[in-house]
């Protein structure tokens, strides 16, 4: 029985963060500017608190300053918008991350739109989404961006391939499909109303699972040799793909954990340094992407 090659997201993330740290240090030496990410947390949801702490810790390892803004769970949309607008106007802040979900009483879209596109390093604004869809420069949603970096690192060229994206959320499924389309894949989206999901998945040269349902996708439905990217994460370190059976059919596969997850933070840090570079005159001349 063949075994897929494992796409090691943890190792790629380490290399990406090292390179980001080098860029941050070069920027500091050249201009005195220290890249700064503002993290905004509404309430004290334990998972969100942990995610924000992880992101701030990783900032430190990359030479990025972070500024934390902790807001009460009952904050109004208007007050949250005011906080985000102030950060958008603050020249010492280069990237803004609003940890979501923010609570059902808040208009999340209004909050995201208060983030200046030049500081939208988490890729959540309509402007960032449009730029990505049009193939224009801008910041991408971090998990989709991380998935594309993984494909590139393992020499997967999406052009001409049939890509099936399972899940269509605004932060993950939809943008990753748009990025694959931008790289000339033939993209099919699946979701909760898709009829006969296995038959669609069986056609895929590239499968991206972005649902949050443990082992929804079974190995028997993976086309032999396919590239399987599992962005799903459920309690007990479980992905959306039944790894043990899929690994015997896929050509390349991401593990959970250690696949897509680490790349998400790596892209966030990378985009924060890019935002800082672009905020300086010489950054405007040299930053790519």
Of 195, 223, 192, 220, nearest in space to 207 by CA? 223
Residue tagged 């983030």 (tokens): 115
168 touching ligand NAP, by CB under 6 A: yes
Q: Which two tokens stand for residue 158?
A: 């999406």
Cβ at position 31, least distance to ligand NAP in Å: 31
Catalytic residue from among 119, 120, 122, 242 = 122
Q: How far is the CB of 261 from ligand NAP (least distance, A)?
A: 4
261 is a site residue for ligand NAP (CB under 6 A): yes
- Binds ligand NAP (CB under 6 A): choice among 111, 140, 172, 227: 172
Judged by CB under 6 A, the residue of 16, 20, 127, 264 near ligand NAP is 264
- Of 169 and 248, nearer to ligand NAP (C-beta) is 169
With 0-12 / 13-18 / 19 or more C-beta atoms within 10 angstroms meaning exposed / middle / buried, residue 153 is middle
Strands, DSSP E only, in the chain? 5-6, 36-42, 65-71, 95-98, 162-166, 186-190, 206-209, 227-230, 252-253
- 55 catalytic per annotation: yes
Q: Does residue 231 touch ligand NAP according to CB under 6 A?
A: yes
Angle value at C-alpha 155, between 151 and 156, nearest 5 degrees: 55
Alpha-carbon torsion (72, 77, 81, 84), positive or negative: positive
Which of 25, 169, 245, 280 is the binder for ligand NAP (CB under 6 A)? 169
Q: Catalytic residue at 99?
A: yes
Name the minimum Å distance from CB 240 to ligand NAP.
Answer: 7
Least separation in angstroms between residue 190's CB and ligand NAP is 5
The count of residues interacting with ligand NAP (CB under 6 A) is 26
Minimum distance between the CB of residue 212 and ligand NAP, rounded to whole angstroms?
Answer: 3
Selecting among 3, 8, 45, 55, the annotated active-site residue is 55
Q: Is 212 in the site for ligand NAP (CB under 6 A)?
A: yes
Closest CA to 123 of 88, 96, 84, 89: 96
**30, 105, 191, 284: which one binds ligand NAP (CB under 6 A):** 191
Residue with token string 């701030």: 56
Is the separation of the CB atoms in 18 and 161 below 8 Å?
A: no
Of residues 99 and 143, the one with the C-beta less far from ligand NAP:
143
With binding defined as CB under 6 A, does residue 210 bind ligand NAP?
yes
Smallest CA-to-CA distance from 277 within 45, 13, 22 is with 22
Half-sphere exposure of 52 toward its Cβ, with a 13 Å CA cutoff?
24
Interface with ligand NAP includes 177 (CB under 6 A)? no
3 is an active site residue: no
Spatial distance between the Cα atoms of 140 and 267, rounded to a whole number of angstroms: 9
Instruction: List residues near ligand NAP by CB under 6 A.
Output: 143, 166-169, 171-173, 190-194, 197, 210-213, 216, 231-234, 260-261, 264
User: Which residues form the catalytic set?
Assistant: 55, 99, 122
């Amino acid at each position: 029985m063949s075994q897929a090659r494992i796409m090691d997201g943890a190792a790629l993330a380490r290399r990406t963060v090292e390179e980001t740290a080098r860029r941050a240090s070069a920027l500091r030496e050249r201009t005195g500017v220290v890249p700064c990410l503002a993290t905004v947390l509404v309430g004290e949801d334990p998972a969100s608190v942990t995610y924000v702490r992880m992101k701030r810790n990783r900032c430190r390892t990359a030479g990025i300053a972070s500024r934390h803004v902790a807001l009460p769970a009952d904050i109004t949309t208007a007050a949250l918008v005011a906080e985000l607008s102030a950060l958008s106007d603050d020249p010492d802040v280069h990237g803004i991350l609003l940890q979501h979900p923010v609570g059902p009483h808040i208009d999340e879209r209004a909050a995201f739109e208060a983030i200046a596109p030049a500081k939208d390093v988490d890729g959540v604004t309509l402007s960032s989404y449009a730029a990505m869809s049009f193939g224009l420069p801008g910041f991408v949603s971090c998990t989709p961006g991380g998935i594309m970096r993984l494909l590139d690192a393992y020499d997967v060229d999406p052009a001409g391939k049939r890509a099936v994206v399972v899940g269509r959320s605004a932060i993950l499924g939809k943008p990753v499909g748009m990025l694959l389309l931008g790289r000339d894949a033939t993209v099919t989206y699946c979701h909760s109303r898709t009829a006969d999901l296995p038959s669609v998945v069986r056609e895929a040269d590239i499968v991206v699972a972005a649902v949050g349902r443990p082992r929804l996708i079974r190995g028997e439905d993976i086309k032999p040799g396919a590239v399987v990217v599992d962005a799903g994460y459920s309690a007990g370190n479980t992905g959306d793909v039944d790894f043990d059976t899929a690994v015997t059919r896929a050509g390349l596969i991401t593990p959970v954990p250690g696949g897509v997850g680490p790349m998400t933070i790596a892209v966030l840090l990378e985009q924060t340094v890019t935002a800082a570079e672009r905020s300086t005159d010489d950054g405007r001349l040299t930053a790519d992407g």
